[in-house]
């Protein structure tokens, strides 16, 4: 069974601060996705990283996939109250079953105070 | 076009009752997934449908849980003899990619919040 350990579970910061969320596993994933979810809604895909060592930027968000494709990080620069939400990482199975079944981390609840 | 829709948005039921949750995927999407999410937590995979293939039921927590997908479109998740530990948000997602495409983009519905009293 593949597991994704996501940390921290909770993050409460002031507007303008930087933060990093980590997603770690002992398993290799073919790709890793990051989602953001707001209350009462389903998760929305932010990014997919596929290649080991890949770095993708989405405005103030920087996503990195580990060289061994076992871990990933999300870094937010100068956080804003609008960044508040639940952030989820999800890994796609690298071995055999390649239909897009995702293993989700436990999520990080981010609160950015004005 | 319309996104994934789910109904009802909220369901309150008594322990021991059966419930049915509905998912309407995005038109043309061949893959459909059901997940369960406890408050503020990650998603737990339940079941996956791909076209006319046999569904992957490996995530269903017990035989009280079952799901169908009629005509390759609408899906219904049924929970029989509900228990309090079944209380959670049940999310449905669909994807345009077929089997063999790892990490395909999944589009989620808003979920059904189930409360078992």
Question: Distance (Å, rounded) from C-alpha A27 to C-alpha A60?
Answer: 29
CA–CA min distance A18, chain B (Å): 22
pLDDT computed for residue B100 by the predictor: 46
Cβ–Cβ gap A106/B42 under 8 Å? yes
Question: Distance (Å, rounded) from C-alpha B25 to C-alpha B23?
Answer: 6
Lowest mean pLDDT among A9-18, A23-32, A96-105, B7-16: A96-105
Interface check for B25 against chain A (CB to CB < 8 A): the answer is no
Residue from A106, A76, A109, A75 nearest A90 by CA: A106
pLDDT along chain B (117 residues), means of 10: 91 98 93 90 88 87 94 93 96 76 78 97
pLDDT band at residue A72 under the 50/70/90 scheme = very high
Q: Which has more confidence, A50 or B8?
A: B8
Cβ–Cβ gap B102/A99 under 8 Å? yes
3-state helix, strand, coil in chain B (%, to 5): 5, 45, 50
Average pLDDT over residues A62-71: 94
Token pair of B30, please? 């061949």
Find the Cα–Cα–Cα–Cα dihedral B32, B36, B39, B41, rounded to 10°.
-80
pLDDT computed for residue B99 by the predictor: 44
DSSP letter for each residue of A72-88: EEEEESS--GGG-EEEE
Interface of B with A in 52-91 (CB under 8 A): 56, 91
What is the side-by-side order of every strand in the sheet holding B19-24?
A: B5-7, B19-24, B75-79, B65-69
In degrees and rounded to multiples of 5, residue A96 shows phi and psi of 85, -70
Percent of chain A with pLDDT over 70: 92
Residues A89-106 have pLDDT tens digits of 998 876 555 456 788 999
pLDDT computed for residue B102 by the predictor: 55
Token pair of B110, please? 């808003």
Beta strand residue intervals within A1-114, DSSP E: 5-7, 10-14, 19-24, 29-37, 44-49, 55-58, 61-65, 71-76, 85-93, 102-104, 108-113
Residues B58-81 have pLDDT tens digits of 899 999 999 999 887 999 999 999
Beta strand residue intervals within chain B, DSSP E: 5-7, 10-13, 19-24, 31-37, 43-50, 65-69, 75-79, 88-95, 107-108, 112-116
**β-bridge partners, B21:** B77
- Which positions in chain B touch A109 (Cβ < 8 Å)? 40
pLDDT computed for residue A98 by the predictor: 47
Average pLDDT over residues A9-36: 94
Cβ–Cβ gap A98/B108 under 8 Å? no
Pick the residue from chain A with its C-alpha nearest to B99.
Answer: A99
């Amino acid at each position: 069974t593949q597991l994704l350990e996501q940390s921290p579970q909770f993050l409460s910061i002031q507007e303008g601060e930087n933060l990093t969320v980590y997603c770690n596993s002992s398993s290799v994933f073919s790709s890793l996705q990051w989602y953001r979810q707001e209350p009462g809604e389903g998760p929305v895909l932010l990014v997919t990283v596929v290649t080991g060592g890949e770095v993708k930027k989405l405005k103030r968000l920087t996503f990195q996939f580990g060289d061994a494709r076992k871990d990933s990080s999300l870094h937010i620069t100068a956080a804003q109250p609008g960044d508040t939400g639940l952030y989820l990482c999800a890994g796609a199975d690298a071995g055999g079953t390649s239909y897009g079944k995702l293993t989700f981390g436990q999520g990080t609840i981010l609160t950015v105070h004005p | 076009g319309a996104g994934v829709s789910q109904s009802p948005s909220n369901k309150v039921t008594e322990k021991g009752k059966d419930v049915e949750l509905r998912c309407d995927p995005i038109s043309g999407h061949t893959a459909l997934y059901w997940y369960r999410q406890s408050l503020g937590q990650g998603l737990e995979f339940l079941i996956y449908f791909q076209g006319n293939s046999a569904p992957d039921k490996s995530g269903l927590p017990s035989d009280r849980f079952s799901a169908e997908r009629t005509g390759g479109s609408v899906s219904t998740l049924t929970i029989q003899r509900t228990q309090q530990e079944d209380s959670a948000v049940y999310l449905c997602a669909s994807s345009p990619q077929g089997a063999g495409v790892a990490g395909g983009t999944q589009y989620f519905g808003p979920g059904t919040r189930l409360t078992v009293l």
